[in-house]
Amino acid sequence: MKPGISVVVPYAGSLTFAETLRSLLQQTLNRRYFGIIVVAELGTMNPDLVVMLNATRATVFYCKRPENFNGHTAGILRNVGVSNARRRILLFVDSDAVLAPDCLAEHFRLHRVHPDHVICGGWRELAAHTQYILRRKSFSFEKLYDMSLRDYRAKANKLGHWENAYSGNLSVAKRLFHLVGGFDEHGHRVHDLDLGYRLFRAGAKFRYSPECRAVHIEHPRSIISRLEQARGWKSSGRSSRKSARMPRIVQ
């Protein structure tokens, strides 16, 4: 297995994916230490994004949505990405997240110091009424970050908790990910908290690391409180069994 980071990004039609790709192009970490894997639902990609994906040298896989599946596909797409990852560290990034230029470098540094920790990166929200900044020809990440809503976990102890595990900016050793069976594939939106809980039960340690900065571009679904989602997952009594229904991969 190669050293470094496999960045896994699921895509199912996000309108701001171009901003995610631009932020990946601007990373300060030497490119030999990371690779990018994008797993997209078949039929959602447009030609302009394909050009940008080529610029990032991303490996792209297309997945056909399982028949009669009405849930959230991100868990499935992320698992497909991991199955094609060749590096020791997995970094999960949302397709509507903008990463600080040193975000990958910070994840890489922290894993060298804390190889058995799950690194829960910072997560601010760019509210809808401030997204006019995205229409400017150029803007700095620092400006975007300053305009964004504060991460409610900002006072969390650096020795974090499994509930800090947001898959929009989350890194974990590949061997730990496989140890607990990967993401749940039933389609519920809190598949990241489910993964975090199973990692916790398996003895993994968590670190809340706001120095790994990212800004999430708010959309209608993200207005729903994460706490409400978490309560829904806990009360649902869902098991952590992986679904046997895997999508067909088209390369």
Distance between CA atoms of residues 186 and 71, nearest Å? 7
Q: Residue 241: its pLDDT value, please?
A: 45
Average pLDDT, the chain: 86
Task: Name the pLDDT band for 102 (thresholds 50, 70, 90).
Answer: very high
Task: Name the pLDDT band for 42 (thresholds 50, 70, 90).
Answer: confident
Q: Residue 127: its pLDDT value, please?
A: 87
What angle do helix axes 47-56 and 17-25 make, rounded to 10 degrees? 20
What is the per-residue pLDDT across 167-220, written as a single tens digit (0 to 9) for each? 999 999 999 999 999 999 988 778 898 999 999 999 999 999 999 999 999 865
Q: Which one-letter amino acid corresponds to residue 121?
A: G
Burial of 238 per CB tally in 10 Å (0-12, 13-18, 19+)? middle
CA angle centred on 172, ends 168 and 174, rounded to 5°: 120
Q: Is residue 251 part of a domain?
A: no
Instruction: Look up the domain containing 48 and give its range.
Output: 2-236
Q: Is residue 241 part of a domain?
A: no
Distance between CA atoms of residues 198 and 182, nearest Å? 9
Q: Residue 227: its pLDDT value, please?
A: 56
Task: Name the pLDDT band for 160 (thresholds 50, 70, 90).
Answer: confident
Choice among 61-75, 186-200, 225-239 with the minimum mean pLDDT: 225-239
Q: Is residue 250 part of a domain?
A: no
Query: What is the pTM assigned to this prediction?
Result: 0.88
Choice among 10-14, 33-37, 104-108 with the minimum mean pLDDT: 10-14
How many domains in the chain? 1
Q: Is residue 225 part of a domain?
A: yes
Return the structure tokens found at 239. Answer: 């098991």
Q: Residue 218: its pLDDT value, please?
A: 81
Q: Is residue 16 part of a domain?
A: yes
- State mean pLDDT over 57-75: 87
In the predicted structure, residue 4 carries a pLDDT above the cut 70 = yes
- Of 95, 6, 83, give the one whose Cα is nearest residue 46: 95
What is the per-residue pLDDT across 142-156, written as a single tens digit (0 to 9) for each? 999 999 999 887 776
- State mean pLDDT over 79-100: 96
Q: Residue 156: its pLDDT value, please?
A: 66
What is the per-residue pLDDT across 239-249, written as a single tens digit (0 to 9) for each? 444 443 444 54
Distance between CA atoms of residues 191 and 9, nearest Å? 15
Q: Is residue 72 part of a domain?
A: yes
Q: Is residue 50 part of a domain?
A: yes
Q: Residue 221: its pLDDT value, please?
A: 57
Higher pLDDT, 151 or 99: 99
Give the CATH number for residue 41. Answer: 3.90.550.10
Q: Is residue 149 part of a domain?
A: yes
